[in-house]
Amino acid sequence: MNLTTDTQENLVDENHTRIYAGFVLLIIFTYLQTQNLVMLYMLLADMVLYSYVSSLLSPLYISSKLITKVLSLEKKLVGFESKKLALHLGLNFLLGAIVLSLLGYETYSLVLVLFIAFWKLFEATKNICFACYLFELLKRKNIILESL
């Protein structure tokens, strides 16, 4: 996964991840208003590009990077391992929501989408990353995640 910055390896700018979370939240709110599953497909495609192909092919990442440059935000470099776990968890929850919706379990799908929205709202506005806390908890318990 290519979440590294240009200057330091294994680090990611937290401003990018917060703005990316804001974009994810905006797409989820659009989905909740329109109930158009295409919004979730687009988000899934972006997250797959971001996590498995290259972050430089993700339209949301490119937009978040552009916004940080335009706003001249100071870089806040953090370790990318916890952000990588957060991205994979979000991707799995989103995939679960899509599958549940396709199977006709709209209520359960909505619960997962609302969970992602709640999670991203806290990340975008309060800089609270629940998966990052989970990663740190696992790390303190000497549980190593090797294949993200």
The answer to whether residue 101 is domain-embedded is: yes
The answer to whether residue 125 is domain-embedded is: yes
The answer to whether residue 2 is domain-embedded is: no
Domain that holds residue 49: 11-140
Q: What's the pLDDT tens digit per position in 82-124? A: 888 889 999 999 999 999 999 999 999 999 999 999 999 999 9
The answer to whether residue 1 is domain-embedded is: no
The answer to whether residue 64 is domain-embedded is: yes
Beta strands in 26-133 (DSSP E): 77-79
User: Can you give the pLDDT at residue 3?
Assistant: 44
The answer to whether residue 112 is domain-embedded is: yes
What's the number of domains the chain is made of? Answer: 1
What Rg value do the Cα atoms of the chain yield, rounded? Answer: 15
How many Cβ atoms are within 10 Å of 106's Cβ, its own excluded? 12
The answer to whether residue 3 is domain-embedded is: no
Percent of the chain with pLDDT over 70: 93
